[in-house]
Structure 1
Amino acid sequence: MSAQLPEEWTLAASAFNWSPELMVADRTSPEIAASIGASGVASVIELEAAQTWRTFPHLDDAETASIRETLDATGTSVSIVGASLDDWLTATARRSEDERHEFLLPQLRGAQRLGAEGIRLPIGQAGPALLERLLPDLHEHGLTLYEELQGQQSPDKPQHAAAVETVAAIDDPRIRLLVDISMLMPSLPPSYLAKLRAGGVDPALVDALERDWRNPATLAAVQDALRDSTVPPQVHTMFMNLVIRFGRSDARELRDILPLVSGVHLKFWDLDDSHGRISNPIREISSELAAVGFTGTLCSEWGGHEWIDSLTPEQATRAHLALAREAIADGASTPAPA
C-alpha cells in the first residue's frame, strides 16, 4: 500500500522532465504530456506554456481545444501552467504595463481552458502594479498566480523580500507563492560534481563543493573562480548552477512565508539519496507545510536531464515520485522541530 498524503495535498509531475524527448521531436508536446498520465506515472501534471503551444504566446483557441482533448483522452489533468512574461519588445525597448498585461492574458485564457488551477511566474517579475491589475482577471478565470522562489532566491534577500511582501499585502488567495526545494539542498548531486571533475574544474574546489556546500567560504570560492576566469569554458554554463539554481537554505528558514505558499516544486537532479540528500528536504518541508495547514500541489521536477542521459524521463520521474510520496507522508505526520 502506498504512503498516504494529507487530504488536499496533490502529488504531480512536471512535463518539463520530458524535455529530452521534446528535443527529439518524434511526438508533439501534448502527446508527450498525455503519455505521463497514460503510462501511470502521474495523472496530474504541470505544463510549460512555451513548450506546449505552437502558437505561444498567442495560444490559439483551436490549438488549446486540441491539447485539452489529447490530455482528456488519457485522464491527465493540469495543475499549473508555467507562464512566460517577455518584458522586452526589442533589445532596447521594454513593454509598457499595458503590453505586459496583454502578453499574459492569452496564457490565462489558455490555462483556464485546459482546466488548470493556476499559472506560474518567477518571483518579483510581474511587480506590484501588474499583480494588482491581474487580480480581477485571475478571479474571472478562477486561477491562482504563483510567484516562484527557487535556488538562491531566499526570502531574506531584499529583492525577494519585497516581492514576498507584495504578495502578503495584496492578501488574496488568487496570488500566492510557490517554493522550489532547490532552495534546500544540503549537499550537491554526485552526478553534477562528477561532471565538474570531468570538465576540468579545480579538484580542490570540487572537493570543497562535495564536502562543505553550505559553508559561505565555499560559495566565496565559487565566486572567486568565476571572477578569476578559471572555470573551463566547456562547463562554464553548468558551473553557474552554483550561484543561481542550487540553494543553501533550511526549511525552517521559510516559516514566515509558508502561510503564503500554495505550491511546491520537488526539484531533483539525480536519484542518489545518500544521507537523505533528496528525501530529507522533502520530509522537512512537508513537516513545515503541515504545521501551517498547507493545501496544494507538490510537483516532481527533474533538473538533471541537462547532464544525465542514463535515465529516461519516465524512469527518473517514476522513481522520484515513489521516494517523494514516502518522504511527504513521513514529514507531514511528524511535528516540525521547534
Structure 2
Amino acid sequence: MTGIPDAWTLCASAFNWTPEVTAAHRPALDIVTGIVADGVADTIELEPGLLWRSFPAPQGGEVDEFRDAMDKAKGNVSIVGASLDDFLSATQRRSTQQRLDFLVPQLQAARRVGAAGVRLPIGQAGAELLGLVQPLLHELDLVLYEEIQGQQVPESPAMAPALNTIAGLADDHVRVLVDISMLMPSLPASYLEELRRGGVPGELVTRLADEWRNPATLDAVKALLQSGNVPPRVHTLFMNLVIRFGRSDVSDLRSILPLVGGFHLKFWDLDDTDGRVSQPLRDLGGLLGSTGFAGTLTSEWGGHEWLQDDPTDITRRHLDLAASALAAGALGDGAAD
C-alpha cells in the first residue's frame, strides 16, 4: 500500500494517555515523551494541562524540561491545546485585554517547545480577540486552530459567525481544525454496551445501534434526558450522544476545506464492523487527496472514558489503521465523491 501524501503528517495526541497521567504511576513528563521514545509517533499534540502544573501560565522551567526531553527523544510538537477562561469569577467576565493576557503565556510556551500551533474551541476567541492576537501569532510563527467537532455542523447558522470571521481574516495563522467525531456512521459497540449495562432502556440502545443517523433517534435521546430517567451512573456518558458524537457526512466538510489546517482522527474503540472506524477515514482520505490538503492528522482516543485498553497499544494500532485507510481513500479506493 502506497503511503499517505508527504504533505500529511500523522500525529498522536497526548490526550490518549490521560488515564496513565491521572494514575500517576510515572511522571507525566515520562509518559508524554514516551509516546515518541516508544516509537508510537514522532510528532505529538500536547495537552499541557496534563503535563505542566503551572498551566495555564506555564513556567519556563517546566516548559524547557519538556522541550529538552523531546529533543532527546527526537520528537516534535504539532499543536498545543490552549485554554481560555472567560470568567474571573462566577459572575465577572474577563475583559478582552484580560482574555488576551490569559492566552499570551500559553502562546509563548507553545513557541518555546517548537509547536506549530495552538488550539481553541471554535468561536470562543471571537473576532475582537483574534484581531488582537494576530500580530503575536505572526511574530511567534504560530497557527491558532479553532476546533469543530461532534454535533457541530459547518452549514448550521450557529457556526456561521465563527467560520465567517476566520474566512474574513484570510490569514494562514488562523485556521479550522476538524474532529472527525462529526463523521460517525454508527456508534461504537463498546459504548452501546456500556449504556446497556448502565440501565439505559434496551429499546433505545437498539435504536441507537440501528438508526444513529436518523434525526428522530436524537429526538428520542433528548426525550429521555428531559424525562430525568437517564440512569445516574451513565448520565455523563449519555451526554456524548448530544455533544461528542456527530451525524455528518464527509461531504459536509467540503465547503470549509479551504479554512482547514488539521484533523483530529477521533476514535472510541477499534471494532471496525461495517467499516464504522475505517470508512470515515477512507472517505476523508478521498476528499483530502482530491483537494491538495496539507496539515496534521492526529490520532485522538476518546474511548478511555469507558474502556481500560492500553493507550500505547490502541494508539499504535489506530495509527496503522488510519494510515492504511487514508491512503486507500487518497488512491480512490472507497473514497466519497
So what's the TM-score if we normalise by structure 1?
Answer: 0.97
CA distance in 1, matches of 2:285, 2:122: 21
Say whether the 8 Å CA contact 1:49–1:84 is kept in structure 2.
no
The answer for the alignment partner of 1:323 in structure 2 is: 321
Equivalences for residues 224-303 of structure 1 within 5 A: 224-303=223-302
Q: What do residues 69-97 of structure 1 show as CA deviations (whole Å, max 9, x unaligned)?
A: 11111112100001010111111111100
Equivalences for residues 143-182 of structure 1 within 5 A: 143-182=142-181
Say whether the 8 Å CA contact 1:5–1:325 is kept in structure 2.
yes
Letter in 2 for 1:21: E
The answer for the alignment partner of 1:193 in structure 2 is: 192
CA distance in 1, matches of 2:51, 2:165: 30
CA distance in 1, matches of 2:256, 2:27: 38
Matching residue within 325, 332, 335 for 1:334:
332
CA distance in 1, matches of 2:135, 2:9: 26
CA distance in 2, matches of 1:4, 1:85: 37
Deviation of 1:3 (Å)? 4.4
Determine helix, strand or coil for the equivalent of 1:194.
helix
Q: What do residues 190-233 of structure 1 show as CA deviations (whole Å, max 9, x unaligned)?
A: 00000000000010000000001000010000000001112111
The answer for the alignment partner of 1:47 in structure 2 is: 46
Determine helix, strand or coil for the equivalent of 1:213.
coil
**Pairwise CA RMSD of aligned residues?**
1.1
CA distance in 1, matches of 2:194, 2:200: 9
Q: What do residues 18-47 of structure 1 show as CA deviations (whole Å, max 9, x unaligned)?
A: 000001112222211110011111010001
CA distance in 2, matches of 1:287, 1:162: 28
Determine helix, strand or coil for the equivalent of 1:178.
strand
CA distance in 2, matches of 1:159, 1:337: 26
Letter in 2 for 1:134: V
CA distance in 1, matches of 2:236, 2:145: 27
Determine helix, strand or coil for the equivalent of 1:21.
helix
The answer for the alignment partner of 2:97 in structure 1 is: 98
Say whether the 8 Å CA contact 1:182–1:267 is kept in structure 2.
yes
CA distance in 2, matches of 1:333, 1:181: 20
Q: What do residues 277-308 of structure 1 show as CA deviations (whole Å, max 9, x unaligned)?
A: 00111111121122221100000000000100
Structure 2: stretches of 5+ with no match in the other structure: none
Determine helix, strand or coil for the equivalent of 1:244.
coil
CA distance in 2, matches of 1:101, 1:156: 29
CA distance in 2, matches of 1:144, 1:64: 19
CA distance in 2, matches of 1:190, 1:3: 31
Determine helix, strand or coil for the equivalent of 2:230.
coil
Deviation of 1:321 (Å)? 0.5
Say whether the 8 Å CA contact 1:49–1:107 is kept in structure 2.
no
Letter in 1 for 2:192: L
Structure 1: stretches of 5+ with no match in the other structure: none
Say whether the 8 Å CA contact 1:182–1:246 is kept in structure 2.
yes
Determine helix, strand or coil for the equivalent of 1:158.
coil
The answer for the alignment partner of 2:82 in structure 1 is: 83
The answer for the alignment partner of 2:111 in structure 1 is: 112
CA distance in 2, matches of 1:30, 1:157: 40
Report how many aligned residue pairs link the two structures.
Answer: 336
The answer for the alignment partner of 1:222 in structure 2 is: 221
The answer for the alignment partner of 1:142 in structure 2 is: 141
CA distance in 2, matches of 1:299, 1:337: 21
Say whether the 8 Å CA contact 2:250–2:336 is kept in structure 1.
no
Identity of aligned pairs, percent?
Answer: 56
Letter in 1 for 2:328: D
Determine helix, strand or coil for the equivalent of 2:255.
coil
CA distance in 2, matches of 1:332, 1:316: 24
CA distance in 2, matches of 1:30, 1:169: 39
Determine helix, strand or coil for the equivalent of 1:159.
coil
Q: What do residues 118-149 of structure 1 show as CA deviations (whole Å, max 9, x unaligned)?
A: 00000100001111111101000000000000
CA distance in 1, matches of 2:286, 2:138: 31
Deviation of 1:252 (Å)? 0.4
Say whether the 8 Å CA contact 1:181–1:264 is kept in structure 2.
yes
Say whether the 8 Å CA contact 2:283–2:336 is kept in structure 1.
no
CA distance in 1, matches of 2:228, 2:22: 31
CA distance in 2, matches of 1:11, 1:150: 19
Say whether the 8 Å CA contact 1:3–1:325 is kept in structure 2.
no
CA distance in 2, matches of 1:230, 1:182: 26
CA distance in 2, matches of 1:58, 1:162: 29
Determine helix, strand or coil for the equivalent of 1:78.
strand
CA distance in 2, matches of 1:13, 1:28: 19
